[in-house]
Amino acid sequence: MPASFAPRFLTRLRVVGLEDEYEDVRVEHILAISRLPVALTSLAAWLVHLGDNSAHFRVGLVLLLGYVIASLVLLVRLQVGGDPGRSFVVSAQVNDVGWPALLCLFAELPNTTFFLLFLFAIIAAAFRWGFLETMVTALISAGLLLLQAIIVAHGPVAFRDLLFAPVDPARLVMRCAFLLMAGSLLGFLAETEKQLRAEMAFTNRLFSLARVGNRFAPVLQNVLSELGRVFQGKAVYEVAARSSSGRTFKWEIPSLENSTIHVREIAPADKTAEMMPDYPHTFFMRRSPPNGACRVTALDEEGRQLKIDQTKGLEMPIADADSLLAVNHEMGRDWCGRLILLNARLGRQRLHELRFVQNVVRQLAPALYSVYLFRGFRSRAGATERARVARELHDTTIQSLISIEMQVDVLRRRNPDCQVSAELGRIQELLRQEVLNLRELMQTMRPIDVGPHQLLDFIAELVERFSRDTGIAVRFISELEEVTVPDGTCRELARVVQEGLVNIRKHSGAHSAMVRFSSQDSFWKLVISDDGNGFPFTGRFTLTELDGLRRGPAIIKERVRAVGGDMVIESIPGHGSRLEITIPQKGHESYG
């Protein structure tokens, strides 16, 4: 069971790397430059009584000179030493608290105006850190004043002889109270300001990760990982549903220690469980020991907290989760989704953190949608340009080559010289092969807009055209009348068939071939076989084994990986080859 509360929000924002080292150096420079005028001003005020030759004056003068020298040393150390380390910061804070304590103890009495120098130490703590550290500094300062009073009133006689006046309890209590109030106020202001800056820096960092032009899946992986680290989740995922197609996808990081994203399509039957439509817009749910009842803090889409009776009866939607943070959002008009962090932890400012993550996701969703759209637009623009080039090849180059081939054929028939006729025949065959190559290139360049309803007809037409153009007898056999393959997988399968047929024509020397599509054990199965020369190796090899041997068709292997499939090649040189591709029917989608 996770702890009830996470560390304070400011600390978690800093842990993910938002702490600016340059900002630390700047803060220490400001404090060092400010400390020296404070010490010099205190010394100048003391020197007003320059004619005083009392022990009280001499001790105060020595202490103030020590304060000035220490302030100067810290400033020089910072200028010479460069970046301040943790030891420098701690020693500077001890210096800021220690000198006022000595001045109040020896210069006059615990009621001296030098207690105001404690304010500089409190301000320094607020400038460096936040509320907790500032309050600790204030408590230490007040404690030192009380300790001095105890020493003055009840300390050893020999030590009390070094002091110069009795203690005024009323003024001492007022000044301790003043230090505590100043510490709480300055600490609260410092914590609020630093947290606001850290939140802005974190939001800007997420926007910098969501750069247009990058691939969608890596961008989403980086964004989800950052959010998961801030809220200390164990796993994080994004579920998005597309209203136009009714399909739902899930981008999941199972472990933030690894931060590898996995993409898969959600079955329609599981969409309701993943999208949680009956749950609030934004909510944090945590099991409470010992009975495991769930406590819910929830917001509506406007950021208003929902009342207890509005969340009563809600159960943990994920059975093995101890806590859950979920935010609903929209990406354009076509997509809606949920960001979900498993076993997330929120601090004591739950409402503030919930509103923060709600606002961040709301602002970030359009940026992620832009990344998604840009990749789609770029792909369409490339496809349009390739289609234009393919049309130009068909209308100009191919027609010209066909015309030249026909003229060569006419010349060959008119020339009775066997040697010349044979040479013209060879040139004619080369022209025919180039026409075939260009047509195959055209087919590859043209965009394939094929879905599950068109896939089988597309492959059948592709096989028929190939047989007609090449003279190789190819059959297409489908054991299915319809398929439910995702669009992205359909396009990749069509390209695989194209590439496989091209390889048969170029390399196999086959007279016949077969393309078979079927379904077996929750896998789609595509088989391409021929009776040609086979591959330059003998045996049956999987995709992993082919990678190790650096064998097999590289383009087909890449396309099979893109849809999460596997491949087996069986080859008998001189007796043909068999390419078998299996793709899981659920669980993967080449998306983003």
- Quick one: 198 and 249 in the same domain? no
| 390 and 382 Cβ atoms separated by less than 8 Å | no
Looking at the structure of the chain, the number of domains it has is: 3
Q: Is 344 helix (H, G, I), strand (E, B) or coil?
A: coil
Q: Which helix (H) or strand (E) holds 318?
A: none
- Quick one: 114 and 62 in the same domain? yes
453-460 contact pairs (CB < 8 A, 24+)? 453/482, 454/490, 455/483, 455/485, 455/490, 455/493, 455/494, 456/480, 456/481, 456/482, 456/483, 456/517, 458/494, 459/493, 459/494, 459/497, 459/515, 459/517
| 332 and 11 Cβ atoms separated by less than 8 Å | no
Here the CATH number for the domain that contains residue 346 is 3.30.450
Say how many C-beta atoms besides its own lie within 10 A of residue 591's C-beta.
18
Residue 433 belongs to a domain:
no
Residue 555 belongs to a domain:
yes
Residue showing tokens 């469980």: 273
| 313 and 269 Cβ atoms separated by less than 8 Å | no
Determine the pLDDT at residue 77. 87
Determine the pLDDT at residue 158. 61
Q: Is 212 helix (H, G, I), strand (E, B) or coil?
A: strand
Q: How many whole angstroms separate alpha carbon 240 and alpha carbon 248?
A: 6
Residue 397 belongs to a domain:
no
Question: Mutual orientation of helices 487-503 and 554-562 as an angle, nearest 10°?
Answer: 170
Amino acid at 178: F
Determine the pLDDT at residue 512. 92
Those residues with Cβ within 8 angstroms of residue 61's Cβ, 6 or more apart along the chain or in another chain: 43, 46, 47
- Quick one: 482 and 569 in the same domain? yes
pLDDT tens digit at each of 592 positions of the chain:
444 556 777 777 775 544 555 567 888 888 889 889 988 988 888 888 776 677 777 877 888 899 999 999 988 888 887 677 788 888 888 988 888 888 877 665 544 667 778 899 999 999 888 899 999 999 998 888 888 778 777 766 665 555 555 567 888 888 889 999 999 999 999 888 888 888 888 888 888 888 877 788 888 888 998 898 888 888 999 999 888 777 888 888 988 887 788 887 787 888 888 899 889 999 999 988 777 788 899 999 999 999 888 888 888 888 888 899 999 998 877 888 999 999 998 888 889 999 999 999 999 988 888 888 777 666 666 666 666 666 666 667 767 777 777 877 777 777 777 777 788 888 877 887 777 777 666 666 665 667 788 889 989 988 998 888 888 899 999 988 888 887 778 888 888 898 888 888 888 888 999 999 998 888 889 999 999 888 888 888 888 888 888 888 888 888 888 788 889 999 888 888 999 999 888 644 444 4
Determine the pLDDT at residue 128. 86
Longest pairwise C-alpha distance within the chain: 137
DSSP state for residue 304 in the 8-state scheme:
P
Say how many C-beta atoms besides its own lie within 10 A of residue 124's C-beta.
26
Residue 441 belongs to a domain:
no
Question: What's the pLDDT tens digit per position in 253-300?
Answer: 988 887 788 887 787 888 888 899 889 999 999 988 777 788 899 999
* Structure-block tokens of residue 302: 């406007």
- Quick one: 247 and 298 in the same domain? yes
The number of residues in the chain equals 592
Helix, strand, coil percentages (3-state) for the chain, rounded to 5, are 60, 15, 25
Residue 391 belongs to a domain:
no
- Quick one: 248 and 198 in the same domain? no
| 233 and 223 Cβ atoms separated by less than 8 Å | no
Residue 395 belongs to a domain:
no
Domain edge (last residue) among 352, 376, 400: 376
**Cross-strand partners of 523:** 520, 584
Question: Mutual orientation of helices 131-154 and 169-209 as an angle, nearest 10°?
Answer: 160
Domain edge (last residue) among 376, 393, 412: 376
- Quick one: 96 and 220 in the same domain? no
Question: Cα 272 to chain center, whole Å?
Answer: 26
- Quick one: 453 and 582 in the same domain? yes
- Quick one: 74 and 90 in the same domain? yes
Domain that holds residue 64: 9-206
Q: How many whole angstroms separate alpha carbon 321 and alpha carbon 421?
A: 81
Q: How many whole angstroms separate alpha carbon 445 and alpha carbon 433?
A: 18
- Quick one: 473 and 571 in the same domain? yes
Torsion of CA 116, 122, 124, 130, to 10 degrees: -160
Task: Return the closest-CA partner of residue 485 out of 446, 515, 459, 513.
Answer: 459
Q: How many whole angstroms separate alpha carbon 323 and alpha carbon 48?
A: 65
- Quick one: 233 and 349 in the same domain? yes
b (16+ CB within 10 A) / e for 518-546: eeeeeebbbbbbbbbbbbeeeeebebeeb
Residue 423 belongs to a domain:
no
Residue 68, CB half-sphere, CA atoms under 13 Å: how many? 13
| 486 and 447 Cβ atoms separated by less than 8 Å | no
Determine the pLDDT at residue 25. 80
- Quick one: 20 and 37 in the same domain? yes
Q: How many whole angstroms separate alpha carbon 511 and alpha carbon 525?
A: 24
Question: What's the pLDDT tens digit per position in 120-140?
Answer: 999 999 988 889 999 999 999
Q: Say if residue 58 is exposed, middle or buried (CB neighbours under 10 Å; 0-12, 13-18, 19+).
A: exposed
| 125 and 134 Cβ atoms separated by less than 8 Å | yes
Q: Is 486 helix (H, G, I), strand (E, B) or coil?
A: coil
Amino acid at 523: F
The phi-psi region of residue 332 (left if phi > 0; otherwise alpha if psi is between -120 and 50; otherwise beta) is left
Q: Which helix (H) or strand (E) holds 321?
A: none
| pTM above threshold 0.75 | no
* Radius of gyration of the CA atoms of the chain, in A: 38
- Quick one: 453 and 589 in the same domain? yes
Residue 422 belongs to a domain:
no
Amino acid at 30: I
Here the CATH number for the domain that contains residue 478 is 3.30.565.10
| 129 and 135 Cβ atoms separated by less than 8 Å | no
Domain edge (last residue) among 376, 408, 427: 376
Q: Which helix (H) or strand (E) holds 336?
A: strand 335-342
In degrees and rounded to multiples of 5, residue 161 shows phi and psi of: -70, -20
Alpha helices in 231-336 (DSSP H): 271-275, 308-311
